[in-house]
Amino acid sequence: MLYSNLKLLLFVCLFIVFNLQAQNCNNYIKGRVFDDGTSLPLTFVNILIQESLIGTTSDKDGFFILNNLCQGEIHLIISHIGCEPKKILIDLKKDTTLSIQMPHTILGTIVVEGEQTNNSDFQSNSTLNRTTIENNSNKTLGCLIENESGVNLMKNGSGISKPIVHGLYGNRLKIINNDIIQSGQVWGNGHAPEIDPLSADKITIIKGTSAIEYGAGNLGSVVLIEQKKIEKEPHLHGQINYAYESNGRGNNLNLRLEKYSKRIAWRINGTIKKYGDKKSSTYFLNNTGYQEANFSLTLQKSWKEKLFLDIYTSTFNTRLGILRGSQVGNITALNNALNAEIPDKTDSLFSYNIDAPKQEVNHHLAKLKLKYFFKENNSIIFLVAGQLNNRKEFDIRKGGRSVIPSVDLLQYTYNTELKYTHSFKNLWKFKVGNQNIVINNTNDPNTGILPLIPDYNNWKNGLFTTLSRKKKKTNFKIGFRYDAELQKVAEISNDLPRRIIRYENNFHNISGLSSIKFIMTSEQSLTINSGYSERNPGINELYSFGLHQGVSGLEEGTLNLKKEKALKNTLEHIWYPSSNFSINTLIYHQSFNGYINLIPKQKENTNGELVNEIRTTIRGAFPVFKYQQTNANIYGFDISSQFSTGNSIFGLIKYSFLRGQDVKNKIPLIYMPSNSIFGSLKYQLKKSKKLNKGKFKNTEIEINNRFVFEQKNILIGQDFVSPPSSYNLFGFKLSTNLILPHFKIRFFTEFNNLFNIKYRDYLNRQRYFANDLGLSVIIGLNFKF
């Protein structure tokens, strides 16, 4: 019996030995790493096999090699300071050679049809990658892109913000959410885009004139929110992002899962957030908490690399508090509030309660996209989508009626798009497309209040075409767009007896662009863009009348507004002498004929002087704003630069200068962004060339600073309150990664407004009543498997 057991044991051992010998462990993976923007080799790039935790770094010419590897599936993790990490699945069956592109330089990219192009495109744009989004999981979409050059925020408190690009926002700025123009109750300054940034893999800000194919009226500025295509990897992958923020005692939790199969690839994403009262440097900002619950689902399938199906659906749901001290009862109290050091109704106790004034918003989206490839570079896209947006705003109302919304709007939007792309010998590229949008917007009459925005139906139809050619030294692009829009409006009269007044508007708008890029040397390029665009006035600009609770002000439209006509010119110079240094300079000038602006309404006082109007209503006393039209110029420049030294230091600096001028009345434009400068310096702790098992890796320390200048390009009395002083915010970040065979954990902590300074921001409407946010500490982790 013993002899038999020994023979069995010997057989098992021999089987294992022979099996190990049969498993070829003499393979290698070698390759070279390049900068995606400059095509220059990258040094000190970390290459790690996650399953075995064996790794190396690239040499001075970007080369690397991993020897003595066994056959089978492995995951390579490629990381470099200043870059977004990459993860590559390799089914190793023989010696393998790779060429890896890392998005390292500050040179932006244009995202077209979900695909990234290189720096040979006509316009450099700011791009945020997935890592940046994950590391800022506590931020809204607007706050996430705030530090990009040329980008600012229009805020109303901490939870409501919308992006401004080169001084343009609202109806002039298109937000494209997964190929769909985001549609909602976007009128006014107190409404944030209903998008969960954690559902995106990339956010791109187009600042030039290249945005002609993304819809009418954008006047050269677009924000693209995109998901990447689900990779052809059979394993289930996912991540959990969690962040706790001290200011507001906020909890942020995000879950993301995805898996590819030949039958269908899928991805799910869910986010929940809960915040209580935010705090300035010295006092609580009562009733400024918010809550979110968001979910999205992506389904993708391809047939023989010819036909690609993409189905996307999402739901965004939020409840937002408005500073309690921003709603007062009479003119005397309002004047006191505008000049008070501490807002009225300020309580020293923290609370998660969200009471009136508040907003409740639900936005749902569903999209189906089909893309068919005739050839590799010739394709046609058909897209159909629907959106449902429900916005409720609650004021402080007498008789226990605060639970009844004062605004209750329901909007249905239907989108269709057909786009054809044809390339000729990889030199010429022709694109033509048609977009149709139908909007139905209704008010709930049970509010008991005349609606701020009337009921309306809107039909939009657009046709565009572009033609471009790329050569070694000179590239050019031209484009044209035509849009027709029909508005049918049913407004309730403001006088008695009440009656329905109907309006019908027909608009016809044209847009055009031309762009030429000179490749001056292998290190420099110069791009000149010119674009003309027309935008008809929006429903809110024409017909709004009443209290806009989101910004604690009364707003009035103007019926005789004409369409805007704008001409924008940009000059951009890019210089990248090496993969360790780059600088991008963008100069722009935009001239408007018929610029529409919401400004304080003026009236004569008892002395016959014109003063900004404050009006008392049964709901309180509020400043009055009116949409007016003038001719204007907006001009400025953005400078962005970055540098790195070896594998340890990475720095960047961004400066934005902007001026807005009302040339008709020879006065400054109100509510233009202040000039600002942002800089950061990141240090990565050194480590040995060979990566060791079980140790924390890519530990980084970062300090950053944002300085916002005082807005001095404004006259005394142009606003209800003078612009606040300049301010200087410091921040600090510390992060590290624990990489194990089957998962990766990133730990991070962040300090915002490190020195807890007291300040107010010119573009934050809450500045009329309160200071901005004080010190905030964020602690978080990102778990990936």
430 residue type, one letter:
F
- Return d(Cα 286, Cα 324) in angstroms, integer: 6
Longest Cα pair distance anywhere in the chain, in angstroms? 118
Report CA 519 to chain centroid distance, whole Å.
30
pTM over 0.85: yes
| 8 A C-beta contact, residue 251 and residue 780 | no
Among 135, 138, 130, CA closest to 252:
138
Among 162-166, 296-300, 461-465, 562-566, the minimum mean pLDDT is found in 162-166
Q: How confident is the model at residue 319 (pLDDT cuts 50, 70, 90)?
A: very high
Phi (first) and psi of residue 2, to 5 degrees: -65, -40
CA atoms within 13 A on the CB side of 167: 29
Helix (H), strand (E) at residue 456: strand 455-470
Among 225-229, 315-319, 725-729, the minimum mean pLDDT is found in 225-229
Q: Is 426 exposed, middle or buried (0-12, 13-18, 19+ CB in 10 A)?
A: exposed
SS3 of residue 1 by DSSP? coil
Say how many Å lie between the first and final Cα of the chain, rounded: 47
A 10 A CB-CB count for 378 gives 14
Q: What is the pLDDT of residue 16?
A: 45
A 10 A CB-CB count for 16 gives 10
The pLDDT > 70 percentage for the chain reads 91
Q: How confident is the model at residue 143 (pLDDT cuts 50, 70, 90)?
A: confident
CA atoms within 13 A on the CB side of 72: 12
DSSP state of 120: T
Q: What is the pLDDT of residue 692?
A: 45
SS3 of residue 414 by DSSP? strand
Q: What is the pLDDT of residue 4?
A: 55
Number of H helices, E strands in the chain: 5, 46
- Return d(Cα 317, Cα 392) in angstroms, integer: 12
Q: What is the pLDDT of residue 371?
A: 96
133 residue type, one letter:
I
Among 683, 678, 769, CA closest to 733:
683
Q: What is the pLDDT of residue 194?
A: 92
Burial 254-284 (b: 16+ CB within 10 A, else e): bbbebbbeeeebbbbbbbebbbbbbbbeebb
User: Which CATH superfamily does the domain covering 2-102 fall into?
Assistant: Carboxypeptidase-like, regulatory domain (2.60.40.1120)
- Return d(Cα 158, Cα 323) in angstroms, integer: 10
Q: How confident is the model at residue 303 (pLDDT cuts 50, 70, 90)?
A: very high
Among 326, 323, 354, 355, CA closest to 338:
326
Phi (first) and psi of residue 19, to 5 degrees: -65, -40
- Return d(Cα 108, Cα 127) in angstroms, integer: 6
Helix (H), strand (E) at residue 321: strand 307-321
Range of 24-38, 393-407, 422-436 with top mean pLDDT: 422-436
Report CA 202 to chain centroid distance, whole Å.
9
Q: β-strand 222-226 against 174-177: which pairing, if any?
A: parallel
Q: Is 726 exposed, middle or buried (0-12, 13-18, 19+ CB in 10 A)?
A: middle
Mean pLDDT of the 174-199 span: 86
Q: Which residues, including other chains, have CB under 8 Å from residue 164's CB and lie 6 or more apart?
A: 151, 152, 153, 154, 173, 673, 763
Q: What is the pLDDT of residue 627?
A: 94
| 8 A C-beta contact, residue 565 and residue 534 | yes
Range of 14-18, 341-345, 398-402 with top mean pLDDT: 341-345
DSSP 255-305: EEEEE--SS-EEEEEEEEEE---EE-SSSEETT--EEEEEEEEEEEEEETT
DSSP 499-560: -EEEEEEEEEEEEEEEEEEEE-SSSEEEEEEEEEEEEPPPHHHHH-EEEEGGGTEEEE--TT
Q: Where are the domains of the chain?
A: 2-102, 111-784
Please determine, for residue 61, whether its predicted confidence score (pLDDT) is greater than 90. Answer: no
Examine residue 197 and say whether the peptide bond preceding it is cis (omega within 30 degrees of 0): no
Please determine, for residue 2, whether its predicted confidence score (pLDDT) is greater than 70. Answer: no
Q: How confident is the model at residue 188 (pLDDT cuts 50, 70, 90)?
A: low
Among 79, 75, 165, CA closest to 125:
165
Mean pLDDT of the 400-406 span: 86
| 8 A C-beta contact, residue 144 and residue 136 | yes
DSSP state of 16: H
Range of 7-11, 237-241, 333-337 with top mean pLDDT: 237-241
Model pLDDT for residues 375-385, shown as the tens digit of each residue: 878 999 999 99
Report CA 511 to chain centroid distance, whole Å.
25
Among 167, 150, 175, CA closest to 316:
175
CA distances from 675 to 79, 203, 711 (A): 34, 23, 8
Q: What is the pLDDT of residue 448?
A: 85
Q: What is the pLDDT of residue 233?
A: 84
**Tokens encoding 568:** 């924008």
Q: How confident is the model at residue 190 (pLDDT cuts 50, 70, 90)?
A: low
Please determine, for residue 559, whether its predicted confidence score (pLDDT) is greater than 60. Answer: yes
Q: How wide is the angle at C-alpha 705 spanned by C-alphas 139 and 273, nearest 5°? A: 10
Among 547-556, 571-580, 704-713, the minimum mean pLDDT is found in 547-556
Please determine, for residue 595, whether its predicted confidence score (pLDDT) is greater than 50. Answer: yes
Mean pLDDT of the 750-761 span: 97
- Return d(Cα 558, Cα 686) in angstroms, integer: 62
Q: What is the pLDDT of residue 308?
A: 96
Phi (first) and psi of residue 429, to 5 degrees: -135, 120
Mean pLDDT of the 192-207 span: 90
CA distances from 49 to 28, 210, 326, 510, 573 (A): 12, 40, 56, 54, 39
Q: For 111-784, CATH number? A: 2.40.170.20
Q: Per DSSP, what are the bridge partners of residue 461? A: 436, 484
Q: How confident is the model at residue 92 (pLDDT cuts 50, 70, 90)?
A: confident
Mean pLDDT of the 648-657 span: 93
**Tokens encoding 755:** 């020195």
SS3 of residue 9 by DSSP? helix
Please determine, for residue 318, whether its predicted confidence score (pLDDT) is greater than 50. Answer: yes
Q: What is the pLDDT of residue 687?
A: 60
DSSP state of 584: E
Mean pLDDT of the 73-83 span: 80
- Return d(Cα 525, Cα 539) in angstroms, integer: 42
Q: How confident is the model at residue 20 (pLDDT cuts 50, 70, 90)?
A: very low
Q: What is the pLDDT of residue 123?
A: 57
The pLDDT > 90 percentage for the chain reads 55
Please determine, for residue 397, whether its predicted confidence score (pLDDT) is greater than 90. Answer: no
Q: Is 620 exposed, middle or buried (0-12, 13-18, 19+ CB in 10 A)?
A: buried
Helix (H), strand (E) at residue 10: helix 2-22
**Tokens encoding 641:** 């630069």
Q: β-strand 676-684 against 667-668: which pairing, if any?
A: unpaired
Say how many residues make up the chain. 785
Mean pLDDT of the chain: 87
Which of 552 and 757 is assigned the larger pLDDT? 757
Examine residue 193 and say whether the peptide bond preceding it is cis (omega within 30 degrees of 0): no
| 8 A C-beta contact, residue 593 and residue 631 | yes
Q: Which residues, including other chains, have CB under 8 Å from residue 274's CB and lie 6 or more apart?
A: 250, 251, 289, 291, 292, 352
Please determine, for residue 329, whether its predicted confidence score (pLDDT) is greater than 50. Answer: yes
